[in-house]
Amino acid sequence: MSARRTLVVACGALAREARAAIGAARLDHVDLTCLPAQLHNRPERIAGALLAKVAPRRAAYDDVLVLYGECGAGPALDRALETLGATRIAGAHCYEFFAGAETFSALSEEEPGTFYVTDFLARHFERLVVRGLGLDRHPDLRDAYFGNYRRLVHLAQADDPRTDELARAAAARLGLAFERRVTGLGALAQFLAQSRVAEPT
């Protein structure tokens, strides 16, 4: 009897954390593939990209685990998951499953005007936020985009001084108060641990 295999499909923004979780848990029966992080700018394309990536290789795997929140993809994502027989991590977005639903809810209630960054977004803030929103060319747009925000919360997956420095710089760039919360891998690690049920005995 052949060993069971699991395919993990992650948003590209979670690639580093997914690899860390898979490696730490020694999930040798798991293969990881990622979709481009830029799909967050076009969430209506996430479901189609997921189908295109997984459908041709679905028969080679017993289980497919998807590291995407709802992420603005709408019901099309649920339909794609059903078509593929795949399971998605719980949560609306990565901020929620890194922080934990209860903690994220408390943070949001405490200050609705909170802009969240993960380690990935802190590292790529200039490209994805500053240049992505055109703030490098039109700095006057900052208040149009972020005028209702009061603070930036860095949900830190790793204790890395350089990433912390970048997150603080992002808060300063947007004129927001800064707060750091260490989350580790949050629910991501627990979600991937369920793949152990597919391991050969």
Q: Output the CA torsion 151→157→159→162 (10° steps).
A: -70
How do the pLDDT tens digits run along the chain, 201 residues long?
A: 456 899 999 999 999 999 999 988 888 899 999 999 989 888 999 999 999 999 999 999 999 999 999 888 989 999 999 999 999 999 899 999 999 999 999 999 999 999 999 999 999 999 989 998 999 999 999 999 999 999 999 999 999 999 999 999 999 999 999 999 999 999 998 898 876 644 444
Give the ranges where 35-118 is alpha helix by DSSP (H).
46-54, 75-84, 94-99, 101-110
Alpha-carbon distance of 54 to 56, in angstroms, equals 6
Supply the CATH classification number for the domain 6-94+186-198.
3.40.50
- Which structure tokens are listed for 11? 């948003």
At 27 the pLDDT is 87
Alpha-carbon distance of 53 to 35, in angstroms, equals 8
Alpha-carbon distance of 74 to 129, in angstroms, equals 23
Alpha-carbon distance of 100 to 94, in angstroms, equals 9
* pTM > 0.85: yes
At 195 the pLDDT is 67
Question: % helix / strand / coil in the chain, to the nearest 5?
Answer: 55, 15, 30
CB neighbours of 192 closer than 8 A, spacing ≥ 6? 8, 18, 21, 22, 25, 27, 30, 65
Residue boundaries of the structural domains of the chain: 6-94+186-198, 101-182
**Dihedral angle sign, alpha carbons of residues 89, 93, 97, 98:** positive
CB 11 within 8 A of CB 39: yes
CA 124 to chain centre: 13
At 1 the pLDDT is 45
